[in-house]
Structure 1
Amino acid sequence: MAELDTLDIIVLGAILLGTLAYFTKGTYWGVTKDPYANVFANANGAKAGKSRNIVEKMEESGKNCVIFYGSQTGTAEDYASRLAKEGKSRFGLETMVADLEEYDFENLDTFPNDKVAMFILATYGEGEPTDNAVDFYEFVTGEDTAFSESNEPALGNLNYVAFGLGNNTYEHYNSMVRNVDKAFTKFGAHRIGEAGEGDDGAGTMEEDFLAWKEPMWSALADKMGLQEREAVYEPVFGIVDRDNLSAESPEVYLGEPNKMHLEGTAKGPFNAHNPYIAPIVESRELFSVKDRNCLHVEVDISASNLSYQTGDHIAIWPTNAGDEVDRFLDILGLKEKRHNVISVKALEPTAKVPFPTPTTYDAIVRYHMEICAPVSRQFVSTLAAFAPNEEAKAEMVKLGSDKDYFHEKTIPQLFNIAGLLAQVSNGEKWTSIPFSAVIEGLNKLQPRYYSISSSSLVQPKKISITAVVENQMVPGREEPFRGVATNYLLALKQKQNGDPNPEAFGKTYELLGPRNKYDGIHVPVHVRHSNFKLPSDPSKPVIMIGPGTGVAPFRGFVQERAKQAQNGAPVGKTLLFFGCRKPEEDFMYEKEWEEYKEALGDKFELVTAFSRQTKKKVYVQHRLQEYGKEVNELLSQKGFFYVCGDAANMAREVNAVLAKIISTERGVTEAKGEDIVKSMRSSNQYQEDVWS
């Protein structure tokens, strides 16, 4: 047999490699990435080689108190930061704040009993953990946790504190903190004080938190032998003037969220730490009446690696309006220094600066701070020491200490912090407030989430947004209260369409973005996965309840079913209950429903409820009651039931009506009807996408 020459060996080698590659595809290479995987480290995220061992981290940094947070919108993170500051200033605790996703928890059983761990845990959606708490929650509450293998109380050394953020309009109210507390107790951990629960549904979250923390501090002081001292403000961040830099210097951040955006090299994955600057390809008003208007916006994601599924959410990264930025900088006496370059430095090793630096005062306030949010009573107390005169100081002390007085003076006017400071001081500037206190006391500007109103089957690279513009007149105020993100979208729509804009407000947004990088009508976005999904089998019936902008995801659902029908798939009955005020005023997508009806025939039915067309108000829950027999039949055929919109009233009433329908149509007690609805929720046959 002739020896193989070099060419033969190369050819055989190539064939062998090709064969090996074919059989290992999807195992060792070519693995499809989860489009929602959060693998991009943010600008302040974990450094290479950073320890994920919290016990080791605390020992290294000399800490005896860690405050973990599970946060979706930033509130839990804010509470964690406030507890850290208060623990240090009032009781001399050496505190640190920790993001749950940045640490492992296998070693919680080695947590020293002379230290304390606090857990500030928000519940997201239908009893789910927040995105950054998923791994922690599964580890602590899952069946395969390492702690369950031990006969001894595995967490017997762990002293912990717990507070939950929830919404009582959801069935699984505060389930995150309840389930974690239950698991910790099971494994022998010692809770200090009560497990607190804040209720966003009742609008009492802030007061619930303030009421919980005082007895908690008392219990913790007893447990750890802490002595309370007079609280004095100690900055967490240092502000350094950078006179050698200007706003034009290439290394200065002017609102860019991370270094890749600063350098113009931003690439995916795009997520909650790294937005995609998406072009808006179309924007229009679905309706515009005296007191409100509604936008339809289409953003193009074709040049990104973003993808979405029907029923997902899109996050809009807003900027603050120029009017509000000016008002804020002015009351702090920073208007003349707005473009001065500063660096913000953490003064202790575990603190994280919430935005990239060096930057400018203007960029921080415009792109990174929630300056339009309602005022926090605790923050008011902090700022009292920096009042411009004794009269203002006395008023701030009273506001901060008297809950009823605070609510009386701030809630009806919907004051943000600049508005309140100006009111208290009669316009006198608050030039003594350290800017570090502002960074610590105000939340980071958060993305706003909207239910996507398009089908990924129909338009996979274009995302539709449907949003009512928030614009509310307030008694005693000259200017209305305006929503941050929806007015930002309105300003973009006005620019894109060349609308005459009689109001100056929309013109004050920096629509071109930092360094004019958003020119051509762009908006920063990312996509968030949702469990609000059509059944995988299109022949299953679906019943959808969506008044107002609650109809947004159902436009996507019906759009998808129409396409499936056009493709020849058997599509089940698709019943949509839509409510608005008047057919001639705010009937969203009226013409489109007719087009979908042509595609779906008798498989699609739109049932309308016009609340202001007749003397007696008619809502979607009333029309649902009328269709009780058909609704029950569809559910008996394993149909899926969906609700989107207002959680506090509509969603609760729909839930109650459905239980009554089942009770009546199936001849069972109302209690049994309620149990059946609960069972539907547990099996995902009943799904909600609701908000307060």
Structure 2
Amino acid sequence: MALDSLDLYVVIILVVAVAAYFGKNQFITKPETTGFLSNDSNGGTNSRNILETLKKNNKNALLVFGSQTGTAEDYSNKMSRELSSRFGLKTMVADFADYEWDNLGDINDDILVFFILATYGEGEPTDNAIDFIEFLDNEADTLSTLRFTVFGLGNSTYEFYNAIGRKVDLKLEEKGAERFAEYGEGDDGKGTLDEDFLSWKDGVFDSLRNNLNFEEKELKYEPSLKLIPRDDLTIDDLSVSLGEPNKKYIDTKASVDLTKGPFDNTHPYLAPITKIKELFNSKERSCVHVEFDISNSNLKYSTGDHLAVWPQNSNEKIDLFLKTFDLTNKKDEVFELKSLDSTYHIPFPTPITYEAVIRHHLEISGPVSRQFFLSIAAFAPNEETKTKLTTIANDKSKYAEEITAKKFNIADALLYLSSGKPWNKVPFEFLIENVQHLTPRYYSISSSSMREKTTINITAVVETEIEPDNRIVSGVVTNLLKDIEISKNKSTEKPLVTYDLKGPRSKYDNYKLPVHVRRSTFKLPSSSKTPIILVGPGTGVAPLRGFIRERITQQENDVNIGSSLLFYGCRNENEDYLYKDEWSEYAKKLGDKFEIITAFSRSTSKKVYVQHKILENSTKINDLLQQGAIIYVCGDASHMARDVQQAFIKIISQERKIDLEKASELVRSLKVQNRYQEDVW
């Protein structure tokens, strides 16, 4: 029977769809690695078929990471090296986003699989693990030949603590996979993440020894890469990386338009800072408001998103790090890296200089872990230092007292232990592999995409502490922003630490910084009529400022908006009241649709915080909640967020005359319904 025109049309559509499905991997390409500091020219020898890659490279241990800030990736790499050295395992580290997982069930039991997974926000997977979680939920069949273990990284201040690690562990078990070592999890909220990881790792090693009969050897550094000096090149050669974000920024002859995206953690936009100003009226503390111009790019954002600012280390920290490892005279020397393992990705573009690696690619300013101490002990400058280091590193409480409490970074700690002697026996390959790599710092966007279409605002407190020995402990990006604020505004103030504001080959000249946008679930309700209750002390007010600016724009466009009740707290009305002049203007524009209630913790003898003001307005809050209001809380996770949640529980209990347990269940229900949202850190 002949096909009519409609039937023929349907057949054609089906044929095209099937062809597209089977051919998608030929036409849709994904980056070989999604790491922040990936080397665009490296890799490409392995397919996206995880089983094929394991077999091709003769691997019997797979470590897969779900990482948002680089910690899970760092743990995976460190454990990979230790498994290889101690137990002779042929390890491979993989980013979830680099592979398809359809044949996970075909990985047989002679391959051990380690899942190291962070939970992002309120129980969400990290960006690179989203597809894998969807695969587990919707597509994965039996996994009866898979042998696995899971370590979850989370923060107990969140309601859905370590949700992704726990979920993957249970899902794999439900689908028949065999757990060869017990599930473990770390708590960043309590500051015990490193110790929790070490404890889990010890359990894994016990299982390898006692249950799987692996023979353990002495730990010895076995590099995954080789450093090759390039005496034929200098910093003036255009092929040499001086810290540019990726290869595209190094090749000045490239035809690629760097103002076009997609912009992500492999490719940022160099955004000009058009305005930056100090918000605090204080000699001791500082907070900057920064406006980035995105008008010459196709970079987009939505109100409530985060801006990722790509960091660099300060001149002072770099000089100390160079001194520590006796590299000062080599800082401008050029080298390239060769991978000794076909599955290892060179983490940044090469050829490159020593200084460029230290300035733009290594996390040298943060705290140092016991695990790093134990690894570097073999390269101590003398036996006395080695003994001192291993004694401290093997004693958790002594390490906390001698190293952590003093807020030492790597250079501080090593020079302290060696009494100032340089650690000139440490291979630079070791530092590249064992020092965590710099990752973007994320800031809640404080502007409205509806109102500020071509600019992105952020609000950042400058993190600086001066220790009793006059050491300066400083945040990486916030002090960079402060240095820019002083320079751009021609202030007479002196920055505590300084930066290379021109950037590699002056690409950051005229105050540009590499940035990209990370999508957030912290969003205004879909209906503008929905009331909102906002809680944001300190810089937690940043995204809430964006929300209010959005509602003003909606009203100006004759859109009907609901009530906005904002609770804001700071120390002193005349010192650190952020955007003080703006709130009164917003109140004039929004009338009875907006109210701000303030708490100043150091204005009176009795400290008053936002949770106290919330309790004082219990009837108003309960009325708004019964009208369908959504709660938004932004700021400190360790104390504020918990105290605020308890205040809401108490209000619901008192106003609705139910017990606290029932009220607590209602608040949890609000979170599940996305009617209680948090953006906390």
Aligned to 2:24: none
Which residue, 192, 195, 200 being the options, matches 1:212? 200
Aligned to 1:510: 500
> Alpha carbons of 1:39 and 1:103: their partners in 2 closer, same or farther (altered >3 Å)?
closer
Which residue, 133, 155, 170 being the options, matches 2:158? 170
Residue identity in the other structure for 1:272: N
Return the offset for 1:671.
1.1
Residue identity in the other structure for 1:355: F
- The alignment partner of 1:391 has SS state of helix
Contact 2:30 2:98 in 1 (8 A): no
Contact 1:40 1:269 in 2 (8 A): no
Which residue, 585, 601, 618 being the options, matches 2:608? 618
Aligned to 2:63: 67
Residue identity in the other structure for 1:377: R
Q: Tell me if 1:650 matches 2:640.
A: yes
Residue identity in the other structure for 1:482: S
Which residue, 40, 52, 61 being the options, matches 1:56? 52
| More displaced 10-residue stretch of structure 1: 462-471 or 349-358 | 349-358
Residue identity in the other structure for 1:145: E
Return the offset for 1:192.
1.6
- Inter-partner Cα distance in structure 2 for 1:314 and 1:301: 12
Q: Tell me if 1:392 matches 2:385.
A: yes
Residue identity in the other structure for 2:167: N
Aligned to 1:290: 283
Return the offset for 1:411.
1.4
Aligned to 1:200: 188
Deviations along 1:405-435, one digit per CA (max 9) or x if unpaired, are 1111011211000111111111111110011
Alignment map for 1:108-147 (pairs within 5 Å): 108-140=104-136, 142=137, 144-147=138-141
- The alignment partner of 1:647 has SS state of coil
Contact 1:119 1:161 in 2 (8 A): yes
Q: Tell me if 1:634 matches 2:624.
A: yes
Return the offset for 1:191.
0.8
Alignment map for 1:563-578 (pairs within 5 Å): 563-578=553-568
Return the offset for 1:159.
0.4
- Inter-partner Cα distance in structure 2 for 1:221 and 1:59: 25
| Residues paired across the two proteins, number | 647
- The alignment partner of 1:104 has SS state of coil
- Inter-partner Cα distance in structure 2 for 1:279 and 1:57: 42
Aligned to 2:406: 413
Return the offset for 1:564.
1.1
Residue identity in the other structure for 1:452: I
Aligned to 1:684: 674
Aligned to 2:488: 496
Contact 1:253 1:359 in 2 (8 A): yes
Alignment map for 1:239-388 (pairs within 5 Å): 239-264=227-252, 265=256, 266=258, 267-388=260-381
Q: Tell me if 1:44 matches 2:36.
A: no
Residue identity in the other structure for 1:636: Q
Contact 1:38 1:271 in 2 (8 A): no
- Inter-partner Cα distance in structure 2 for 1:311 and 1:445: 24
- Inter-partner Cα distance in structure 2 for 1:39 and 1:603: 47
> Alpha carbons of 1:195 and 1:40: their partners in 2 closer, same or farther (altered >3 Å)?
closer
- Inter-partner Cα distance in structure 2 for 1:121 and 1:357: 29
Deviations along 1:55-100, one digit per CA (max 9) or x if unpaired, are 2111111110010000000000000001100001101111110001
- Inter-partner Cα distance in structure 1 for 2:270 and 2:637: 31
- The alignment partner of 2:363 has SS state of coil
Q: Tell me if 1:181 matches 2:173.
A: no
> Alpha carbons of 1:40 and 1:583: their partners in 2 closer, same or farther (altered >3 Å)?
farther
Deviations along 1:455-513, one digit per CA (max 9) or x if unpaired, are 001001100010000011223x212211111000001111111112334x44x311000
- The alignment partner of 1:284 has SS state of strand
Return the offset for 1:41.
6.5
Aligned to 2:98: 102
Aligned to 2:223: 235
- Inter-partner Cα distance in structure 2 for 1:500 and 1:398: 47
- The alignment partner of 2:286 has SS state of strand
- The alignment partner of 1:648 has SS state of coil
Residue identity in the other structure for 2:81: K
> Alpha carbons of 1:38 and 1:413: their partners in 2 closer, same or farther (altered >3 Å)?
farther
Q: Tell me if 1:87 matches 2:88.
A: no
| More displaced 10-residue stretch of structure 1: 529-538 or 266-275 | 266-275
Deviations along 1:207-239, one digit per CA (max 9) or x if unpaired, are 000111112111123343210011211112211
Aligned to 1:451: 444
Alignment map for 1:445-594 (pairs within 5 Å): 445-475=438-468, 477-503=469-495, 505-506=496-497, 508-594=498-584
- Inter-partner Cα distance in structure 2 for 1:271 and 1:288: 35
Aligned-pair RMSD on alpha carbons? 1.7
- The alignment partner of 1:289 has SS state of coil
Contact 2:32 2:44 in 1 (8 A): no
Return the offset for 1:573.
0.8
Output the TM-score relative to the length of structure 1: 0.91
Which residue, 71, 76, 85 being the options, matches 2:72? 76
Contact 2:33 2:95 in 1 (8 A): no
Contact 2:280 2:286 in 1 (8 A): yes
Contact 2:46 2:53 in 1 (8 A): no
Contact 1:121 1:176 in 2 (8 A): yes
Contact 1:166 1:200 in 2 (8 A): yes
Q: Point out where structure 1 has 5 or more consecutive residues left out of the alignment.
A: 1-23, 29-36, 148-153
- Inter-partner Cα distance in structure 2 for 1:236 and 1:39: 21
- Inter-partner Cα distance in structure 1 for 2:70 and 2:490: 35
- Inter-partner Cα distance in structure 2 for 1:66 and 1:456: 42
Return the offset for 1:614.
0.8
- Inter-partner Cα distance in structure 1 for 2:502 and 2:67: 30
Contact 2:567 2:596 in 1 (8 A): yes
- Inter-partner Cα distance in structure 2 for 1:241 and 1:595: 61
- The alignment partner of 2:534 has SS state of strand
- Inter-partner Cα distance in structure 1 for 2:311 and 2:39: 20
Aligned to 1:158: 146
Aligned to 1:7: none
- The alignment partner of 2:417 has SS state of helix
Contact 1:40 1:273 in 2 (8 A): no
Deviations along 1:638-679, one digit per CA (max 9) or x if unpaired, are 111000001111100111110111111112221111111011
Return the offset for 1:621.
0.3
Deviations along 1:590-642, one digit per CA (max 9) or x if unpaired, are 11111111110011000000001111110000000011101111111111100
- Inter-partner Cα distance in structure 2 for 1:303 and 1:684: 35
| Identity in percent | 48
Return the offset for 1:401.
1.2
Deviations along 1:147-182, one digit per CA (max 9) or x if unpaired, are 1xxxxxx11110001100000000111011100111
Contact 1:452 1:553 in 2 (8 A): yes
- Inter-partner Cα distance in structure 1 for 2:600 and 2:532: 22
> Alpha carbons of 1:329 and 1:462: their partners in 2 closer, same or farther (altered >3 Å)?
same
Residue identity in the other structure for 2:571: R
- Inter-partner Cα distance in structure 1 for 2:607 and 2:30: 46
Residue identity in the other structure for 1:530: S
Residue identity in the other structure for 2:632: Y
